Structure 1
Amino acid sequence: MKQPMITGVGITDFGRFPELTEESMAQSAILDALSDAGLAISDIQAFYCGNVFGAMLPGQRVLRELHAAGGAVYNVDNACSGGATALNLALQALKAGQYDTVLVFGMDHLSSLGGGPLPLGQRDWNNKRGMIMPALYAMRARRYMQDHDVRPETLADISVKNRKHGLLNPIAKFAKLATREEILASRPVAEPLTLLQCCPAVVDGAAALVLSTRPSRGTAKPVRVLASVVQSGIFETAPVDMTEAEITARAARLAYEQAGVGPGDLSLLEVHDAFTISELLYYEALGLCARGDAARLLESGATALGGRVPVNPSGGLLAKGHPPGATGVAQIVEVCEQLQGRAGARQVNGARIGLTQVTGGGIWGVDHAACSIHILSL
């Protein structure tokens, strides 16, 4: 089995750009990734596109103006996990020898949708009754706070940390410092979550990766993918503990086994912090600490830059925003740059192994519809 390597990365600014299109943003990210890999678009044999809210055939719409040679284009919609799922499929094809050089990209342009939370399918009865994502995570937060004696200030501190990280990331156009008091005093969304504890919902962005089993032509050291796991949610037919991120824990166990590493080997993580409570729950699901100890892990400083295992050094979704099709690919870009020592002011010292985790929700009756986890190393 051939060993695929990530040989080039590209990413656009994440922000609100109504004057742009998702096609133009994806084209920019793709060209940057090709340049980073030292390749031309004619060297790419297949393209994998993650996209959630665009029109039909998003990959082909992007590639037609780049004069791609007509190779295979695979369009992947797996909710917010779409870009990471596209990477998983690309890796399978490379390992099987179907291709030797491919490109994975993800994009979404939410400015064109207007404002408010992400639209969900109205055939799901919980969505009809208002169980949209902020409401669901607010319920999880209330339960977790009650079960583990966690204060609202702890949730706010997740946002404080990630906003500090985001200020060091030049693509994070929404990143602004905020104190704990400012976060708690921001507009209520769904108790106990306030506006600054929710990732910006109207965000545009794109990211791209070149993967190959051939020797790299780029200047940066190629990055290995030690594990790539995609899992789907299990339909819940009985009451469950909503503070247990079951799908993430299940995917993490498979990823650690596949990579031959454990949580203690990780140098950094990029996780799906759509809401502040999410990051706390994922500390536990990913094995960074025991159940109920997430607040203590945060308060120790271990998950901040300079700590033992920084989480979301990019600023995460809270500081960057969340164009769903791009998020999973953007997480991979961040970890690659960290491992290669190219992360600038937010560089994690001695970064050796990084993990990315992204979920996709929006279906009643499951924890999440999808979860993708990748573990990377030089």
Structure 2
Amino acid sequence: MTEAYVIGAGQTPFGAFADESYRSLFQRAYESALESTDGTIDSDDVDEAVIGTLGVGGRQLGLSGPAVTEHVGLDGVPCTRVENACAAGGYAVRQAVQAVRSGMADLVVAGGFEVMTDMSGDLTKYWLGVSGETEWERLTGTTFAGVYAQMASAYMDRYDVDTEPFSRVAVKNHANGAKNPNAHLGFTCSLEDAEGGAPVADPLNLYHCCPTSDGAAVALVASEAFLEDYDGDRIRVAGVGASSDPVGLADRDTYTAIPASERAAEAAYEMADVGPAEIDFAEVHDCFAIAEVLAYEDLGLCERGEAPTLLENGTTDLDGDLPVNPSGGLKSKGHPIGATGTGQVAEVFKQLTGNAGERQLDDPRRGLTHNVGGSGGAAVVHVFEREVAE
């Protein structure tokens, strides 16, 4: 079975763009990915495309994949649209890797997009809510923030902590996002600011919640055969893992973990033949601050209940022993649902090729991405590796 490599990746800025459409955003991300290959790749090289999107606002619910790929000149290229809520982009990358490893394609476009800021707050809450359990969450009035607030309350009770760990996530990720020109909320905040944010869903406040964003991101996934004539950067997809779980929180065995994330991580580590200790940095799914806290433990970066200590000690800061969300994460960089997973890959590609600018880490070799759908109904984890010459 052939190996799969990311040879280029790009994204738009994430934010609110009244003058952009989902097609124009995707075009900008696609062109950015091509530019990252120093112009050596063009549309004629592409064998297949996989596009992630939830379809927020009801725009082009059918055939939204071909709607953007044909717009950028991928004429006749087979295109599949993936919808797995907030994990759509990560699953698009996974399917691109599968296409390459199966031998059915040598170069696959894995992309994602979303437009979320062109409707009212009530409609936005509706579209976010469709990723939760319908009868017992959405239709009974539970918001997406409300579901994660239940998880946060359970974690605080089980491990006897207050909201400070959640606020430390916000402070860290805003500090990183302030160094990222693509970030939606590219400003810093203090711990006092984060602790004093306006309530959203107790115990979560405004600083504990990511924004709703517009944006697009694209990764180019290639086979070993394709690389025989390619001299540019390449990052090996060393491991892939994915898992599903009950969509409704009440149907799961725990509120203080996301079992799908844990299983996905175990599968990715096994395929990559590495353990959590061999990961140099990670981009994790922090739609709410509690989600990042749970991710540390689900991914095996620490033992259960120890995530607050990692945050307090600065371990996951940009200059810490295990930086998490150097891009700013969903909290600061933004969360255009279908683009989030591919945007994580774009950050990993930049870091592992030494092109992350002011937030560049010191010679990282392995990076991990972790993308979650809903409150944990789906999760996908990738391990990427920069190959070092012997």
**TM bucket normalised to smaller:** over 0.9
2:298 to 277, 285, 293: 285
User: Any unmatched runs of 5+ in structure 1?
Assistant: 362-366
The offset of 1:337, in angstroms, is 0.8
**Structure-1 separation of matches of 2:53 and 2:191:** 34
Deviations 1:95-152 (A, max 9, x none): 1111111111100011233324343238422211222221111111112112212122
Secondary structure of the structure 1 residue equivalent to 2:3: coil
Per mean C-alpha deviation after superposition, the further-off stretch among 235-244 and 269-278 is: 235-244
CA RMSD across the alignment: 1.7
Work out the CA distance in 1 between the residues paired with 2:64 and 2:217: 14
Residue 77 (structure 2) aligned to one of 49, 71, 75? 71
Looking at structure 2, the residues matched to 230 and 239 of structure 1 have their Cα atoms a distance apart, in angstroms, of 17
Letter in 2 for 1:340: T
Is 2:238 the partner of 1:226?
yes
Q: Which residue of 2 aligns with 1:21?
A: 21
Does residue 175 of the first structure (1) align with residue 186 of the second (2)? yes
The alpha-carbon deviation at position 239 of structure 1 amounts to 6.5
1:297-339 CA deviation, whole Å, 9 max, x = no partner?
1111110011010000000000011111000000011011111
Q: Is the 8 A contact 1:36 1:219 kept in 2?
A: no
Partner in structure 2 of residue 256 of structure 1:
269
The amino acid across from 1:142 in the alignment is S
SS in structure 2 opposite 1:334?
helix
TM-superposed CA distance for 1:52, in Å, is: 0.7
Using the TM superposition, give the Cα deviation of residue 64 of structure 1 relative to its aligned residue in structure 2, in angstroms. Answer: 2.4
| Cα distance per residue 1:147-196 (max 9 Å; x no partner) | 21212222111100100000011100322111112122221001111111
Q: 1:135 aligns with which of 146, 155, 168?
A: 146
Question: What residue number does 1:48 align with?
Answer: 50
3-state secondary structure, aligned to 1:211: strand
In structure 1, what is the Cα distance between the partners aligned to 2:325 and 2:75?
Answer: 37
Deviation at 1:63, TM superposition (A): 2.3
TM-score, structure 2 normalization: 0.91
Report the Cα distance in structure 2 between the residues aligned to 1:205 and 1:355, rounded to whole angstroms: 22
Among candidates 199, 206, 209, match of residue 195 of structure 1: 206
Which region of structure 1 is more displaced relative to structure 2, 94-103 or 266-275? 94-103
SS state at 2:70 partner: helix
Change (3 A) 1:371 1:125: same
Provide the rounded CA distance (Å) in 1 between the counterparts of 2:299 and 2:178.
26
Match of 2:342 in 1: 329
For 1:377, the aligned partner's letter is E
Alignment size in residue pairs: 372
Whether the 8 Å CA contact 2:13–2:183 is kept in 1: the answer is yes
- Matching of residue 370 in structure 1 with residue 381 in structure 2: no
Whole-angstrom distance in 2 between the partners of 1:14 and 1:210: 20
Q: Does the CA contact (< 8 Å) of 1:106 and 1:207 recur in 2?
A: yes
For the 8 Å contact 1:275–1:318, the answer to whether it is kept is yes
Q: 1:16 to 1:216 in 2, by over 3 A?
A: farther
Give the letter for the 1:40 counterpart: D
- Cα distance in 1 for partners of 2:228, 2:324 equals 29
The one-letter amino acid of 2:323's match is: P
Aligned ranges 1:287-366 → 2 under 5 Å: 287-361=300-374
1:272 partner SS:
coil
1:134, 1:120 → 2: CA distance?
A: 9
- Indicate if the aligned counterparts of 1:7 and 1:218 stay in contact, CA closer than 8 A: no
Offset at 1:250? 1.1
Gaps of 5+ in 2: none
Q: Would the aligned equivalents of 1:216 and 1:222 in 2 still touch at CA under 8 Å?
A: no
1:215-262 per-residue CA deviation (whole Å, 9 max, x = no partner) reads 277775200001112211147886722002211111111111111000
SS in 2 for 1:113: coil
Q: Which amino acid aligns with 1:211?
A: V
Q: What letter is aligned with 1:33?
A: A
Residues 256-295 of structure 1 deviation map (CA, whole Å, 9 limit, x = unaligned):
1111000100100000001111111111111111111111
Match of 1:96 among 91, 102, 106: 102
- Equivalent AA in structure 2 for residue 205 of structure 1: G
Residue of 164, 167, 184 corresponding to 1:156: 167
